[in-house]
A and B are shown apart, each in its own frame.
Chain A
Amino acid sequence: MNKNWRWLPAGIVPVVIVTAAVSGSAVAEAQPQLPARTAQELLEFVATSTDDAYSGTVEQSSNLGLPDLSLASPPGRTPSSDPTSMVLELLTGEHSAQVYVDGPDKAKVQVLDQLAQRSVVINETDAWYYDSSANEAAHAVLPDKDAAKAALEAKLQEKVAEHPELQNIPRTPAELAQAFLATIDPSTEVTVDGTSRVAGRSAYELLLTPEDATTLIGSIAVSIDSETGVPLSVSVQARGQDEAAFEAGFSAVDFSTPDADIFEFTPPEGATVTEAPTADEAKAHIDEAKARVDGKDQPAPAEEPVVIGEGWSTIVELPAGTAAQLGLNLGTGEAAGMGDIMEVKPGMDPEEVAGAQAMLEQALTEVDGGHALQTSLVSVLITDDGRILAGAVSADQLVAASRR
């Protein structure tokens, strides 16, 4: 008897799995049929969107052309709490986050790391940040919303009284959309680029394309939910790169109001809680510092940052000395090679500094007159005299700008 048919299931199962996987992604990519809308209509739709309670999973990935910095940090360590490396870590690689939003006042974002979590919880009165791997929390008391709003309104009225032409500032969503398009028009083309399917929902694709040829940004696409007007995903395309340089969007979204207790947070016992100064305290602190500087009759405070160019290829130049303030130490020391980029300052964990140093050494390249960090979207130049230039242009253009 021929028993070979008994191998049949083993042949069929993989075929079924592959078919299911392929057809699943084909359904996900099918373009839904939606009534056509112009860019103006779409922007109005977003501005009038009232459905602002939802929850979902956000996937973020970036492809900035940087070396994979997660390999530079010692294995087995969750992302460091040091802000620089945390930002770098969030900018490279992939992340998944759980997002809950209920109105403009309540939000919760949970960055889901493996066996760790970083959470941000905002409700009407407080803002919390909690990092589970370090068991550290930061807390800020939010200023009274109504009072702040009233103060803002009063200030606005004052300004309008001074400058009557401000009376014409856009108020309605339609006016806002028009104003936005008018402002952005000379430098950017705004179009509706068909439809797409995001997190199982039909969406309009709003496409912003810079007219400026010198910027690294190729285009920015925003998917807008066709029913609620909530933006579902953003992707930034870099010039000369097929894959999106930055992508963030919902992989699942639910437009029902999240439970109220999700937005409550009490720091766990044993956690280190840092209290952020309130707005008044911060202001007092700044005033005090100012008074001290004025009193000592010091040389003029550091120069203001300089803005070079306009539109998409704007370059920001931070004055000399900024690099040193940030603890970056380039160009001094060994003339050609890279010395210790990071200075170990008191209160810093030497090991963390060494880690950051290794990261920077990987990421920075030497250019004429300084060191540059070139990503597919943004470049940063640290000149040998300690200035920092940054912009969405190539490093060569930064070098040229630094010579002016």
Chain B
Amino acid sequence: MPAESTEIRIRAGGLGLTLVLSEISVLFRRLRTWAMIGALALIPILIAVVVRVSSDESASGRGPAFLNSITQNGLFVSLTALTVAIPLFLPLTIGVVAGDTIAGEANLGTLRYLLVAPAGRIRLLLVKYAGAALFCFVATLTVVVTGAIIGALLFPIGPVTLLSGDTVGIPGYFVRLLLLALYVTVSLMGLSAIGLFISTLTTIPVGAMAATAALAAVSQILGALPQLEWLHPWLFTNYWLGFGDLLRQPIVWNSFADNALLQFGYIAVFGTLAYGRFSTKDILS
């Protein structure tokens, strides 16, 4: 008997990492995940090719930020693509992944088997959230790295001019790009927590995905209304485009810190809500 109980304890203890790894491998073995990553990679490619093909100079001063700098330095493709992807494409893909976390398993009828293993509902929630968070980082990095590669292929590259007019070398720029990817990942963590919570409410994953993506849009619309200024610091989309502060010299860390605090608040609120809902829920499927 003692041998058996030890074995169970070992399995239970090791289960955290095993479960995370299995969750990640399931997530990244899905065709859908790769389709979304491919779609995100298409954004910088599309931007770079369009700018390369057209030589229309009259459009200067318009369009998304950094667009006009691309012809001089291909490394700016990353920044333009990120500016374009943040409001719509990234939240959409995060919505799909986060909305699918619990509802997807329930829909497939696999949720109860996951819970039969001595995983515990808290641990399952944490593992699912870790998977969604990793996807946020991979998705952001995809946009940034593809942008740098396609920019380097199609345009001359060189030291990059920051917003403050100072110039950094290519290695310094890549450090900043990594910081940018981190910033955007943190920005999307609150939305992932909301998606996780919505996902515990339903067994229909499409509903949870749509609701999560729609909330991101609603939050951005509210953020654009000057009449609701008192509400803006509380919206999880408030600092989404604040990543520009990392492109100044010296770096302004205020928005990074404010953003992290805000997203942490959202994770706390919706994480505990998801826990309340998921741990009291009768799992029928």
Contacts and interface: CB of A to CB of B under 8 A. Distances in A.
Interface of A: 3-4, 6-10, 12-14, 17, 57, 68, 71, 76-78, 98, 110, 112, 114-117, 119, 128, 130, 132-135, 137, 252, 259, 262, 265-271
B163 A115 contact: yes
A98 B66 CA distance: 22
Given A262-B250, A270-B161, A10 B275 contact: yes
A10 B280 CA distance: 13
B18 interface: no
Nearest to B66: A115
9 contacts: A9-B276, A10-B273, A13-B268, A77-B62, A112-B248, A115-B244, A133-B61, A135-B161, A252-B254
Contact of B280 (A7, A68, A128, A265): A7
Interface in B139-173: 158-159, 161-167
* A interface: dominant SS: mixed
Contacts of A8: 276
Interface string B215-259: 000000000001000000000000001101100101010100000
Contacts of A112: 244-245, 248, 252
B230 to A, nearest CB: 12
Contacts of A270: 72, 161
Interface of B: 61-66, 68-69, 72, 83, 158-159, 161-167, 226, 241-242, 244-245, 248, 250, 252, 254, 265, 268-269, 272-273, 275-276, 279-280
B248 A76 contact: no
B238 to A, nearest CB: 11
B273 A115 contact: no
B152 to A, nearest CB: 18
Contact of B61 (A7, A77, A128): A77
A267 B61 contact: no
Counting from the closest, the 9 A-B pairs by CB-CB distance are A268-B161, A7-B276, A9-B272, A130-B165, A117-B163, A115-B65, A10-B272, A115-B244, A10-B276
A76 B164 contact: no
Contact of B163 (A4, A132, A137, A265): A132
Given A17-B268, A76-B63, A117-B163, A110 B241 contact: no
Contacts of A135: 68-69, 161
A127 to B, nearest CB: 14
A9 B280 contact: no
B164 A9 contact: no
A10 B226 CA distance: 31
Contacts of B69: 135
Contacts of B166: 265-266, 268
A59 B163 CA distance: 19
B280 A4 contact: yes
Nearest to B197: A10
B276 A6 contact: yes
A114 B273 contact: no
A17 B164 contact: no
Contact of A13 (B163, B165, B272): B272
Given A115-B65, A115-B244, A268-B165, A3 B279 contact: yes
Contacts of A110: 164, 248
A253 B275 CA distance: 41
B61 A9 contact: no
